[in-house]
Amino acid sequence: MKVRIVHIEGCPATPPTRDLVRRVAGELGLDVELEDVTVTTAAEAERYRFIGSPTVQVEGRDIEPGAEAVTAYAVT
C-alpha cells in the first residue's frame, strides 16, 4: 500500500503524522510504502492536490473527507 505524506517544510504536525501512519500500519500488519513530499511551489501544490499540511493520501486518495471536492490548492 502506498501512503504519501505531503507537507510544507518545517510543519510541526508532519513527524507525529508520519509516526502515526507507521504505528497504525504496523498494528494492522500492513506493508506500507511511505512517500514523503515537501511542497514548495504552487505547481507542486496542484500536482499533489495539497489542501493543507500535512496531507495524507492512501493510494493517491486524500484521507480527508470531502477532499476530492477541493479545487483550490496552495502552499500554506
pLDDT tens-digit map of 4-36: 999 999 999 999 999 999 999 999 999 999 999
Q: Does the domain at residues 2-69 carry the CATH identifier 3.40.30?
A: yes
Are 50 and 75 spatial neighbours (Cβ–Cβ below 8 Å)? yes
Domain ranges of the chain: 2-69
Burial of residue 32, with CB atoms counted within 10 A of its CB: 0-12 exposed, 13-18 middle, 19 or more buried = middle
User: pLDDT tens-digit profile of 33-67?
Assistant: 999 999 999 999 999 999 989 999 999 998 988 88
Single pTM value for the model: 0.89
Confidence class of residue 71 from pLDDT cuts 50, 70 and 90?
Answer: confident
Which pLDDT belongs to residue 76? 66
